[in-house]
Copies of this chain bind each other. A is one copy, B any other.
Amino acid sequence: MHSDRVWTAALVVIGDEILSGRTQDRNVAQIATWLNDQGIRLAEVRVVPDDSAAIGDAVNALRVKHDYLFTTGGIGPTHDDITVDAIATAFGVPVIVHPEARKILEDYYRDRPGGLTEARLRMARTPEGAELLRNPYSGAPGIRIGNVYIMAGVPAITASMLEALTGKLEGGRPVVSVTVGARAAESDIADLLRETEEAHRGVAIGSYPFFKDGGHGANFVIRSVDGELANATAAVLTERLRAAGYDPVEGGI
């Protein structure tokens, strides 16, 4: 039985490569979708550079505002991987070599060329008092300290850590989304949308225009933690769009 309160999370994406435009972030959408399945709402994201103070400020501002805080990026073996140190500083604790993480890396690198070098051992460093998050994909674990979940930046590795965490976080009811699309100018059905939202307490309707195949239109996303209400609202919206002369498409365009 899920509780009715809304559980929220924030995400800090760490990395100069995102802020320079070199790398297209994929973790916001990936983590947002995963969190919703856990009954947790992603309420805020910050993208910060590889800078200890910027990381620490964001972590300390957000970890007290939300049930959970996730970070991605900066936990590899190179000199620009400073997330662990920055978060330890933010918590006011030292960095240690976590015995269990050392063991995981010893096992992982035992039969690999080079073995467990000093650089690789960097990936066993955690803030004191932390627990590990399993990473079946590539050995080096993620880290939990308090309500802060420190994850890798490479999306496939982030996915591996999320999979290992699935079903383990307390959450509420997932938000149900129902989409209806129409080849209508947003501005032509703005009143209809607003009225439909106002008539259904507990739903939010978002309107997302698109331009494709030489035409334009919009998708309307009805969100609610009450799935029946979301579906009922979508049915009303579909009927109203049809009555207004459009040919609405369930599931969106």
Whether A25 touches B25, Cβ cut-off 8 Å, given contacts A44-B47, A45-B47, A187-B77, is yes
Give the size of the chain A interface in residues (CB under 8 angstroms).
65
Answer yes or no: A52 CB below 8 A from chain B CBs.
no
Residue on B nearest A58 in the bound complex, by CB = B44
The residue that A20 contacts in the complex, of B47, B78, B205, B223, with Cβ under 8 A, is: B223
Given A50-B206, A76-B186, A122-B190, A29 contacting B24 (CB threshold 8 A): yes
CA distance A104 to B48 in the complex (A): 38
Q: Which of B36, B46, B206 contacts A45 (CB 8 A)?
A: B46
**Contact (Cβ within 8 A) B47 A21:** no
Cα–Cα, bound, A147→B193 (Å): 33
- Verify if A229 is at the interface (C-beta below 8 Å from B): no
* Given A44-B47, A76-B209, A221-B17, CB of A190 within 8 Å of CB of B32: no
Shortest beta-carbon distance from A146 to chain B in Å: 22
In the complex, the answer to whether B77 meets A186 with C-beta atoms within 8 Å is yes
Q: Could you give, for residues 142-168 of chain A, a 1 whenever the CB lies within 8 Å of some chain B CB and a 0 otherwise?
A: 000000000000101000000000000
User: In the complex, which residues of chain B have a beta carbon less than 8 angstroms from the beta carbon of A78?
Assistant: 186-187, 190, 193-194, 207
Residues of B within 8 A of A175 (CB): 20
A77: chain B residues within 8 A (beta carbon): 186-187, 190
Chain B residue, CB-CB nearest to A109: B187
- Give A78 to B41 CA distance when docked, in angstroms: 24
For residue A16, give the distance in angstroms from its CB to the closest CB of chain B. 6
Q: Which of B29, B76, B188, B190 contacts A79 (CB 8 A)?
A: B190
Give the distance in Å from the alpha carbon of A122 to the alpha carbon of B48 in the complex.
Answer: 34
Q: Are A205 and B80 in contact (CB under 8 A)?
A: yes
**Could you tell me the distance between the alpha carbons of A20 and B204 in the complex, rounded to whole angstroms?**
12
Instruction: Decide yes or no whether A191 CB sits under 8 A from chain B.
Output: yes
Closest to A81 in B: B207
Task: Give 1 or 0 for each of A191-210: 1 = CB within 8 Å of chain B CB.
Answer: 10110010000001111111
B22, B41, B42, B49: the one contacting A221 at CB < 8 Å is B22
Residues of B within 8 A of A46 (CB): 44-47
Q: How far is the CB of A182 from chain B (nearest CB, A)?
A: 13
Report if A114 contacts B (CB, 8 A): yes
* Nearest 9 pairs of A and B residues by beta carbon: A21-B32, A21-B33, A119-B190, A45-B47, A79-B194, A77-B187, A78-B207, A119-B187, A120-B187
